[in-house]
Amino acid sequence: MTRLQEYATYREIKSQPEAWAQALDVTNASRSALLSADDYDMVIFTGCGSTYYLSLAAAALYQELTGRTARAVPASDLLLNPQTVVGRIVNPTYKTLLVAVSRSGTTTETVKAVEKFKQEQRGEVVVISNYDEVLSRLADVNIVISKGQEESIAQTRSFASMYVAVTAFCAHMAGRGDLLGEMNKLPEIGNWLIGNYESFAKEIGENLNFDRFYFLGSGIRYGLACEVNLKMKEMTLTHSEPFHFLEFRHGPMSMVNENAVVVGMLSDANRVHEVKVLAEMKMLGATVAALGESPSGMISDADVVFESGILESVRGVLYLPVLQLMAFYRSVAKGLNPDRPNNLTAVVKLEL
C-alpha cells in the first residue's frame, strides 16, 4: 500500500470525496448569482476531452431535470464551427447560457470559444474549474473547486469534483432544493464505496488476460461511460470503448469474447433492459461488472452496490471511483506510469 501512495493518481482517486464536499459548498455559495432554467432558451455545455464528456453528462441531466433544451459540444466546435451550434446571426431575444468546464482554466480551445461567445454577445457564461485562471476571469458566474486540483495528467479527482458541481448547478436551475439536500450525503457514501470496493477494482484491473473493455451507460450516464472509457485508454493503453446499453447489441457485441470486460452503469428505470444486455454478454464469454443502486426490497444484481438512498439524478458521481481505481491498478500491473500517460500533457495549449 505504501508503494501505491507514491502515485499521485492513487492519492487523488482516494481523496476525491473531500473535493466533492467543496464542490457542493462552492456551487451553493454561487446560487444567488444564478437564475433559473426558465430564464434561458438553451444552455450549452462545453469542454475538451474529459470535460467534453462531462458536458455530455451535464446536458442530459440538465434537460432531464429542467425540461429545457440543452446540448453539449466540444469547445473546438463552438470556436471553429459556431454555425452548427449557435447559428450565424445573434438573436437578442433568444437567451443562451454557456457553461464552460475546464480543469486548468487555460485550455486553448475553451478559452478562445468563450472569448468569441462573449465578443459576439451570445449570452452569459458560467465557468466550472479547479483553478482560478484566465477562463474564470471571463465568467459571469465562477465556480472554482480548488480541492479538485491534481498532480497527475489523467483527470480523476478533478473530473469528479466538477461533475458534482455541475450536478448541483442543474438541480439549482431546476429549482430542486430537495436534490441539493440529497447531495450532501455523497462524500460519505463515496468514502464507503472506495473502501468497500477497491479490492474488486484491483482484481479486474490487474488481470492482464483481459485485452478489451466496454463501458455501457445510457441517458445521463452515457457521458460518464465515455469518461471512464477514456481513463482506461489513457492510463492503460488498452482497447476500450463506450456505448449506450441497447446500442451495444447493434454491431459492437461482435467484439465480445472471454478476454472482454463489459462494465454496465445500471439505471433504475431501465434496469431490466440493461441487465438483459449484460446477461447476453456474459453468455458470449465476457466478464461483466455492473454498478448501481440496490433495488428496493430485492437482492442486488450489481457487483458494486451503492446503497446510498440518494435519488438517481444526483448520485452519478458514485459510478466513478471504483472504475478509476480499475484503470489505475491495470496501469500499474502493465508496468506503466498512471501519473504520466503516453503522449499527453495536463493542459492542451494550441496556436489558434
Q: What are the residue ranges spanned by the domains of the chain?
A: 4-183, 186-333
Q: State which fold the 186-333 domain adopts.
A: Rossmann fold (3.40.50)
pLDDT at 63: 98
Do 49 and 348 meet the contact criterion of CB atoms below 8 Å apart? yes
pLDDT, residue 87, reads 80
Q: CA–CA separation, 322 vs 202, rounded Å?
A: 9
Mean pLDDT calculated for residue range 300-316: 94
> Is 297 a residue whose pLDDT tops 60?
no
For residue 346 the three cell numbers come to 495536463
CA distance linking residue 72 with residue 113, whole number of Å: 13
pLDDT of residue 2: 60
Digit-coded pLDDT (tens) for 67-107: 999 999 999 999 999 999 988 778 888 999 999 999 999 99
- Comparing 4-183 with 186-333, is the CATH topology the same? yes
Q: Which amino acid is at 252?
A: P
State the average pLDDT for the chain. 95
**Which residues lie closer than 8 Å to 209 by C-beta, 6 or more apart?**
259
Sheet arrangement for strand 260-265: 239-243, 212-216, 260-265, 287-292, 304-305
Which pLDDT value is given to residue 301? 86
Cβ–Cβ under 8 Å, residues 128 and 103: no
Q: C-alpha dihedral over 279, 281, 286, 288, to 10 degrees?
A: -50
pLDDT tens-digit profile of 328-344? 999 999 999 999 987 66
- Across the range 255-260, mean pLDDT stands at 98
Find out if CATH 3.40.50.10490 is the number for domain 4-183: yes
Q: List pLDDT tens digits, range 191-246.
A: 999 999 999 999 999 999 999 999 999 999 999 999 999 999 999 999 999 999 99
pLDDT of 204:
98
